[in-house]
Structure 1
Amino acid sequence: MAMSSSVSTATITPRTSNKSDENMSTTSEQEQVSPPGDVGADYDHFFWTYTEEPHRTRRQAIIKAHPEVLKLCGPELLTFPLVLAVVTLQILCAYALRHTPVLSLPYLLTAYAIGATANQNLFLAIHEITHNLAFKSPLANRLLAILANLPIGIPYSASFRPYHLTHHKSLGVDGLDTDLPTALEAWFLDSVAGKAFFATFQILFYALRPMMVYQLPLTWIHALNVVAQLAFDVLLVRYAGGRALGYLILSSFLAGSLHPCAGHFIAEHYVFGQQSRAQDAAAAKQAAPEETYSYYGVLNYLTYNVGLHNEHHDFPAVPWTRLWKLNAIANEFYRDLPCHHSWVGVIWQFVLDKEVGLWCRVKRSQGGRKVGGTGGHGQPMG
């Protein structure tokens, strides 16, 4: 795969022409970059499109060309011992720091270098488990997710599951995909300072935004998640002190802040390069840009290969250990897609490049479905 190497590490590799580009050109007349409804284009600069999200189409094409990829689907038992190891590591670190001042260099460095990396790993373990990729049993996966949640300090694994599965079923759909920034966020944070604030506190945006978009009904697994987390936190404070719990919560914050591994949050679906926020008539007629981007660097070793994000969205039932094999088997479908070369570079470019910001997301006003919860008239969804 040809890649530019002398430019910014966050530069998107240009995509060459292929069949999907030809298909896209036939439907470009149906696409638009102005939002539906009565929100004016002057106040909304997202990439609005009425075409289907690309992953279903590519998945069907890959299965037709390489039916053997379906053998890659299924749980990966290695996830369980890895979760146990990282949970144990974080508990030991929290206990070791129980007498260390919070503002001391050892405490802060440990929270950033070890704690944030470990908790980001647990975030993405929960992501894997959400897709039922640790065990065959759905219940076993839910319970493992609650276990993986413990060092994060705040219960979230049960609510993450329906929101994230909806993200897959409704990629880019306004009002359903809670990974999308709202117009208010994009407008208010449309500056270097605003984007720096977002990159620093993005974990809070991802935690709070879903509840602002739509509410999920509470279930017994939510209750178990909360009870288990509160019991763990109380026991940790009782036997190791408040600084131990503070270490875990600080680790979670730093994991979603200005940390190399946190670059994946921005890298996965934000549009980079020269395609962003084009306002001229010619650009308004062109097809919407790619909306998912992969990263093939070394940080995948710490993050359950979440960088292989096109591959993951194409085949959510393929576990982290087999995504590279999927890429190898169907390489003709992936080698020319735009990709990132550095998550650190992604954060840097996102903050400083005036052509990149929270507006740079592909949105669609229809399609998809909600996983979990109920519809507006009490009908079950998903």
Structure 2
Amino acid sequence: MGVDYSLYGGADSLAEGRSPRRTFPNNAAILPLLPPKDPSEFLWIHTEEPHRSRRLEIMKKHPEVTKLMGYEPLTKYMVLLVVSLQFFIGIVWLANVKWNSWMFVATAYFIGGTANHNLFLAIHEITHNLAFPKVWQNKTLAILANLPIGIPYAAAFKKYHIEHHKFLGQDGIDTDLPTNIELILLNNVFGKVFFATFQILFYALRPTFVRVQTLTEWHILNLFIVLTADYLLYISFGPKVLIYFIMSSFFAGSLHPCAGHFIAEHYLWDGQDQETYSYYGKWNWLAYNVGYHNEHHDFPSIPWTRLPKLRQLAPEYYDALPAHPSWPMVIFNFIRDPEVGISARAKRRCYEGLLSD
């Protein structure tokens, strides 16, 4: 059978490794509520990201955690189901509906936005090689999941996201972090409304300004397959199917309940320096349990179906961590709270030699 890459957190080869330990984290208990930090600046910290240390502690205390690792066969069926649903809605259900009608827009928001957000998170899951044991199988499925999104991005997302795990908070490497220009322009109520409304554009465009990737054959294949599918849909059914796909993708990363997870995962709250937050509510049912985000960063080789079991296995590590009760409320609180804004992120200095390109 060969190497099962679902056990390696998304690595494309066994030559890849984790970033070296830089400092030892403070093992003190969770701090009490602290005064808010200066909202005009990021929180610069000098400790190691917390997930590696917690992973090692849990593996030492609960060695049976390794039994939760490995790919989830259900994922490929979920992807096929949602991709088929989106093509059915775009080609059949909306065939006689005008693209600028309220029914079309409502369908794109409530059904399409939820479905495409599900596909965003399917690609996130597949990025960690958690749908199949082989890398090429996962990358192929990611391209399939990319089709109803309308814009090719799955291949580029993989490298950026694995860097986000390995270099959490590293300035200039982790492209999940807002840039300084975003802090200058958007760190106010109107700016946060704009950011929350157009989140998907920030996550799509920001990486290309922060850190350009070298094109690989998978980038080219991803571009070719998705753009070819777009062209075939256009010549066969006109622009409406593509409008539905793109509109669904926009809503999926805008003021949509599921989109609250973008802000919920790594923004700082209540004056704490806790970098990652989980959410355990029902929206996880539509989002590959991405709300179990501390658990996911601790063990990126555990698939979505078994993240709740990780929390049950090691409650002493997770139950004491503050977690979000609601994704929609995260968006609302992010916009209205003057103490939480674009700058509410923890950053680390980029050390030379961490990356080879």
TM norm structure 2:
0.88
Mapped to 2, the partners of 1:190 and 1:21 lie a distance apart of: 32
Please say if 1:73 is aligned against 2:62.
no
Please say if 1:97 is aligned against 2:94.
yes
Please say if 1:22 is aligned against 2:6.
no
Going from structure 1 to structure 2, the CA distance change for 1:297 and 1:130 (only over 3 Å counts) comes to same
Please say if 1:351 is aligned against 2:351.
no
**SS of equivalent to 1:22:** coil
Aligned-pair distance for 1:231?
A: 1.1
Report the AA paired with residue 135 of structure 1: F
Aligned-pair distance for 1:190?
A: 1.1
Alignment counterpart, residue 78 of structure 2, candidates 77, 82, 85: 82
Alignment counterpart, residue 159 of structure 2, candidates 158, 162, 167: 162
Q: Which residue is equivalent to 1:258?
A: 255
Q: Which residue is equivalent to 2:236?
A: 239
Q: Which residue is equivalent to 2:188?
A: 191
Identity of aligned residues (%): 56
Mapped to 1, the partners of 2:108 and 2:44 lie a distance apart of: 40
Aligned positions, number: 328
Aligned-pair distance for 1:98?
A: 3.2
Aligned-pair distance for 1:99?
A: 3.2
Please say if 1:56 is aligned against 2:49.
no
Q: Which residue is equivalent to 1:297?
A: 281
The answer to whether the 8 A contact 2:292-2:307 is kept is yes
Going from structure 1 to structure 2, the CA distance change for 1:106 and 1:369 (only over 3 Å counts) comes to farther
Alignment counterpart, residue 207 of structure 2, candidates 210, 216, 223: 210
- Deviation digits for residues 337-371 of structure 1 (CA, Å, limit 9, x no counterpart): 01100000000000011111010000000359877
Within a 5 Å distance, the mapping from 1:6-17 to structure 2 comes to none
Report the AA paired with residue 235 of structure 1: L
Mapped to 2, the partners of 1:205 and 1:118 lie a distance apart of: 20
Aligned-pair distance for 1:90?
A: 0.1
Mapped to 2, the partners of 1:366 and 1:329 lie a distance apart of: 34
Going from structure 1 to structure 2, the CA distance change for 1:197 and 1:270 (only over 3 Å counts) comes to same
Aligned-pair distance for 1:97?
A: 1.4
Aligned-pair distance for 1:148?
A: 0.2
Aligned-pair distance for 1:44?
A: 5.5
The answer to whether the 8 A contact 2:40-2:187 is kept is no
Report the AA paired with residue 345 of structure 2: R
**SS of equivalent to 2:88:** helix
Aligned-pair distance for 1:236?
A: 1.0
Report the AA paired with residue 28 of structure 2: E
- Deviation digits for residues 29-85 of structure 1 (CA, Å, limit 9, x no counterpart): xxxx99xxxxxxx99511101100000010011011101001111000100010000
Mapped to 2, the partners of 1:169 and 1:64 lie a distance apart of: 21
Alignment counterpart, residue 220 of structure 1, candidates 217, 220, 225: 217
Report the AA paired with residue 344 of structure 1: P
Going from structure 1 to structure 2, the CA distance change for 1:74 and 1:334 (only over 3 Å counts) comes to same
Mapped to 1, the partners of 2:354 and 2:243 lie a distance apart of: 35
Mapped to 1, the partners of 2:221 and 2:249 lie a distance apart of: 21
Mapped to 2, the partners of 1:262 and 1:123 lie a distance apart of: 11
- Deviation digits for residues 311-353 of structure 1 (CA, Å, limit 9, x no counterpart): 0000000000000000000111000101100000000000011
Going from structure 1 to structure 2, the CA distance change for 1:114 and 1:368 (only over 3 Å counts) comes to farther
The answer to whether the 8 A contact 1:186-1:359 is kept is yes
Alignment counterpart, residue 310 of structure 2, candidates 302, 326, 338: 326
Aligned-pair distance for 1:94?
A: 0.4
Q: Which residue is equivalent to 2:226?
A: 229
Aligned-pair distance for 1:20?
A: 5.8
Mapped to 2, the partners of 1:129 and 1:43 lie a distance apart of: 36
Within a 5 Å distance, the mapping from 1:274-285 to structure 2 comes to 275=271
Aligned-pair distance for 1:23?
A: 7.5
Please say if 1:173 is aligned against 2:179.
no
Mapped to 1, the partners of 2:233 and 2:96 lie a distance apart of: 13
The answer to whether the 8 A contact 2:279-2:292 is kept is yes
Alignment counterpart, residue 130 of structure 1, candidates 108, 116, 127: 127
Structure 2 stretches of 5 or more lacking a match?
Answer: 1-24
Mapped to 2, the partners of 1:333 and 1:140 lie a distance apart of: 34
After the TM superposition, list the runs of 4 or more consecutive aligned residues in structure 1 that deviate by more than 3 angstroms: 366-371
Q: Which residue is equivalent to 1:139?
A: 136
**SS of equivalent to 1:316:** coil
The answer to whether the 8 A contact 1:99-1:243 is kept is no
Report the AA paired with residue 267 of structure 1: A
The answer to whether the 8 A contact 1:69-1:326 is kept is yes
Aligned-pair distance for 1:103?
A: 1.7
**SS of equivalent to 2:340:** coil
Report the AA paired with residue 60 of structure 1: L
